[in-house]
Amino acid sequence: MKYDYDAMVIGGGAAGLTTAGIAANFGAKTVMIERERLGGDCTWTGCVPSKTLIKAASVIHHMREGEKYGLRMDAAKTDTAGVMKHVDNVRREIYEDADRPEIFEEMGIEVVFGSAAFTDDHTVQITDENGVITTLSARYIFICTGARAFVPPIPGLDGVKYLTNESLFEIDNLPGKLIVVGGGPIGSEMSQSFQRLGTEVHLVDMAPGILINDDREMSDILKMKMEQEGVTFHLNAAVKRVEQMGDSISVYFEADGKAESISAESVLLATGRKANIDALNLDAAGVTYDSSGITVNDACRTNKSHIYAVGDVTGRYQFTHMCEHMAKVAASNALIKVPMKIDKKHVPWVTYTDPEIGQIGATEKELKDKGVTYETYRFPFSKIDRAVTDGVPEGLIKVHAKKWSGRILGASVAGAHAGEMISQYALAMRNGVSLREFADTIHPYPSYGLGARRAADQWYIKNQSESLVKWIKRIFRYRGEIPDYSNPDRIV
């Protein structure tokens, strides 16, 4: 009873909203502190607006491709101002439906707006927009302040009107030409979408490819598609400086030892994320942190046993779904003493380009680097009937598993609805479902999910020996031809 609250949640983004909701559900007297507006990065500058823009770009792209479906449409004009207004409307709709303070107040959660800073390990001072300071204390504290766009120290950047994901969705009209610095998920998604909406896009990255944390074969499938749509790539390129020249911005870089430059109306920096810890005064609480974020163990606990950190602020995972998972882990450990750990082995992620790229578990490179023995089972989207009828036969499924047991070690999908398909493999891996059990599970036809099952079927195919078939043929006196088992790439 010596503290004002049982649980204090600092931050009202995906991590904070989930943590506060769980805490209140456990019967804890809960306060949630938010500096700006509830919903955080996901609702306002991340998942929601970016996926809404991707959808708009997809619609106009399919209109231009109408003839391959036997349709003729006029997609010559794009109301870019209307597109950005639509993006804003969708995020406000989601805020009203799921993130408004009143929703959480009805759960019994007190919502306080202002910037929080620790004064000791149980107490924070909250300064509101008018400078009014409130001091609150709590038995357990959950730091859920998220992350923001990382702006690299590029010479000349201080004099340039650049964009990040935090300002991108506030513009009224799309630029005629855009330079995207960074080939990760945000850079790839926005590059393709802007190109489809009529912007000339150049993507610059110091890596030899895009999406370097994904399977290289899968990311190359996406890169080829983006090149076909008009995106220009400048890879192995180190940005040296930028310069504002009137309404134009020039980016100077070195690629393969050669100095080059591009000029455009706008520059989007998609160069990673930085944890929001600067204003928290963590030293006053004695909480350990480093340049990547707040240090936590697998229970999401900091070096202070009653202080937990959840989501992007830890620097460990930059996914909304991991914010929710970590919130459950932290709240369960702190408030009801149920021991839970972060499930590090089964973290899926998806880049929502066209084709989508999904990943779960180990990549082929990781397995080779660790010396793990495995088999890879491949299945092309061109053999998934639903993909063919939808006109999207480009793509590939790769599943890595143990040869005899069929235990899944990792999976990669490049293709339509890869995000939904990778979820099946995540469920299978989390619950120990082997490829044999996966293959024996009935899936509806025609569906993309059936494609995931047919990839699992290849485990049966590869483990079926020629000698066994000869033995069966002899026993039952069958007269057919034996398949060519010498071809390792045979797909059935």
- Cα(68)–Cα(393) distance, integer angstroms: 13
Is 355 marked within a binding site? no
Is 419 marked within a binding site? no
Is 189 marked within a binding site? yes
Report the DSSP beta bridge partners of residue 267. Answer: 179
- Cα(270)–Cα(325) distance, integer angstroms: 25
Crossing angle of helices 448-462 and 418-430, rounded to 10°: 50
At CB < 8 A and 24+ separation, what contacts does 116-119 make? 116/10, 116/33, 116/35, 116/279, 116/280, 117/279, 117/280, 117/281, 117/284, 118/280, 118/281, 118/282, 118/284, 118/285, 118/287, 119/281, 119/284
Is 184 marked within a binding site? yes
Report the DSSP beta bridge partners of residue 164. Answer: none
Is 187 marked within a binding site? yes
Is 182 marked within a binding site? yes
- Cα(74)–Cα(329) distance, integer angstroms: 51
Cα 94 to chain center, whole Å? Answer: 19
Is 470 marked within a binding site? no
- Cα(162)–Cα(98) distance, integer angstroms: 31
Report the DSSP beta bridge partners of residue 410. Answer: 361, 400
- Write the CA distances from 471 to 346, 404, 463, 477, integer angstroms: 40, 20, 15, 10
Is 185 marked within a binding site? yes
Is 209 marked within a binding site? no
Is 51 marked within a binding site? yes
Is 272 marked within a binding site? yes
Q: Which residues are annotated as a binding site for NAD(+)?
A: 182-189, 272
Q: Which residues are annotated as a binding site for FAD?
A: 51, 312
Q: Which residues are annotated as a binding site?
A: 51, 182-189, 272, 312
